[in-house]
């Protein structure tokens, strides 16, 4: 089986080859800056934390385009590095791959595993099924897309703990997103409904069967709002509800509420100095993450991401 890094390299190479061979490249695009979103931490186009109904890259209806990104998130006790690529086909289909490396910091040390990193690969697909965010900007019709994210957590020193909690290392998120651009008011609004079993987005596995089982899909809403200050600068915020599968398992294991999770949120500013480059800076609040080892500290900090798109 290929290492995820090899898979990612193949995906990027394929993206470049497809775009080079395409008869209509997204180089000469009419897509408005920032209306295609940026790359989420999972690789799909949207905000930083949640996917939107838009299709990534600069490609319009008769074009094929692509994007690549790198993201860094730092909180009081943890760090996350993410990177990946996506292909947008005819502004209707999106295929993405993302790789995450989570430094467990104080939690790994408390478990006797200093330097522990949790690594996850995410393969995403998305299809626009109705509406057009730009062409329908003067109506109430939003752009609607459905998508899936296939997540695989690498084997690590945490395997025995996840097995004891009954958390799987593979899972699939399904979602539907609706994105509405109010062009005259320079406002973009997105709502996403996600069906998921993921613990902390999958970095702590999927579901839990110890104690009171939490091994079924839960519907979790996500909301984004962005305001275009100018044609290449947007500010906004996101709120993403998260499942809390591990808390009961933690209580059964004698940890009290030491494995509970909370919702994620951010406030961001996105800047596109050119049509090919965007940079996003955000303040993030990820709630508590394994509070048994962090003295219940909320994990707030910074989010920085850069994306190249064509």
Q: Is the per-residue pLDDT at 5 higher than 60?
A: no
Q: What digits encode the pLDDT tens for the residues 34-65?
A: 888 899 999 999 999 999 999 988 888 889 99
Instruction: Please report the pLDDT score of residue 133 as a whole number.
Output: 85
Q: Which residues of 8-35 are buried (b: 16+ CB within 10 A; e: fewer)?
A: beebbeebeeebeebeebbeebebbbbb
Q: Is the per-residue pLDDT at 138 higher than 80?
A: yes
Burial of 254 by CB count in 10 Å (0-12 exposed, 13-18 middle, 19+ buried)?
Answer: exposed
Mean pLDDT of 2-27: 45
**In sequence order, which residues have a C-beta less than 8 Å from that of residue 145 and are 6 or more positions away?**
51, 52, 53, 54, 55, 126, 127, 128, 129, 176, 177, 179
**What tokens appear for 36 in the block?**
């295609």
Phi, psi dihedral angles at 5 (to 5 degrees): -65, -40
Averaged pLDDT of the chain? 90
Mean pLDDT of 57-74: 93
Kindly list the structural domains of the chain, giving each domain's residue range(s) and its CATH number in brackets, ordered by start: 4-309 (2.40.160.40)
Distance CA 96, CA 148 (A): 10
* Top-confidence residue, 302 or 28: 302
What count of other Cβ atoms lies within 10 Å of the Cβ of residue 235? 15
Cβ distance 146 to 178 under 8 Å?
Answer: no
Distance CA 299, CA 79 (A): 10
Mean pLDDT of 175-180: 97
Distance CA 11, CA 289 (A): 32
Range ranked top by mean pLDDT from 10-14, 135-139, 218-222, 250-254: 218-222
Distance CA 201, CA 152 (A): 11
**Global confidence as pTM:** 0.90
């Amino acid at each position: 089986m290929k290492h995820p890094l090899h898979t990612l390299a193949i995906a990027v190479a394929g993206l470049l080859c497809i775009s080079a061979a395409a008869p209509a490249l997204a180089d000469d695009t009419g897509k408005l800056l920032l209306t295609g979103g940026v790359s989420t931490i999972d690789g799909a186009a949207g905000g930083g934390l949640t996917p939107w109904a838009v299709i990534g890259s600069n490609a319009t209806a008769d074009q094929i385009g692509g994007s690549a990104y790198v993201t860094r998130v730092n909180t009081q006790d943890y760090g996350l590095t993410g990177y990946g690529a996506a292909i947008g086909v005819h502004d209707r289909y999106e295929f993405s791959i993302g790789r995450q490396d989570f430094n467990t910091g104080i939690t790994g040390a408390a478990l006797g595993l200093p330097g522990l990193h949790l690594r996850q690969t995410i393969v995403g697909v998305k299809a626009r099924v109705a509406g057009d965010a730009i062409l329908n900007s003067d109506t109430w019709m939003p752009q609607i897309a459905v998508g899936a994210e296939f997540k695989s957590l690498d084997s690590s020193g945490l395997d025995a703990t996840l097995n004891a909690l009954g958390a799987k290392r593979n899972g699939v998120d399904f979602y539907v997103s609706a994105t509405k651009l109010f062009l005259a008011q320079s406002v973009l609004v997105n709502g996403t409904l996600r069906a998921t079993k993921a613990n902390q987005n999958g970095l702590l596995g999927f579901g839990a069967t110890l104690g009171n089982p939490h091994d079924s899909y839960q519907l979790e809403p996500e909301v984004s709002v962005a305001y275009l200050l100018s044609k290449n600068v947007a500010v906004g915020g996101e709120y993403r509800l998260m499942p809390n599968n591990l808390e009961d398992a933690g209580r059964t294991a004698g940890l009290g509420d030491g494995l509970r999770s909370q919702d994620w949120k951010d406030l961001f500013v996105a800047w596109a100095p050119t049509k090919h480059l965007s940079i996003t800076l955000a303040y993030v609040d990820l709630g508590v993450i394994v509070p048994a080892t962090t003295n219940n500290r909320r994990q707030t900090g910074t989010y920085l991401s850069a994306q190249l798109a064509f």
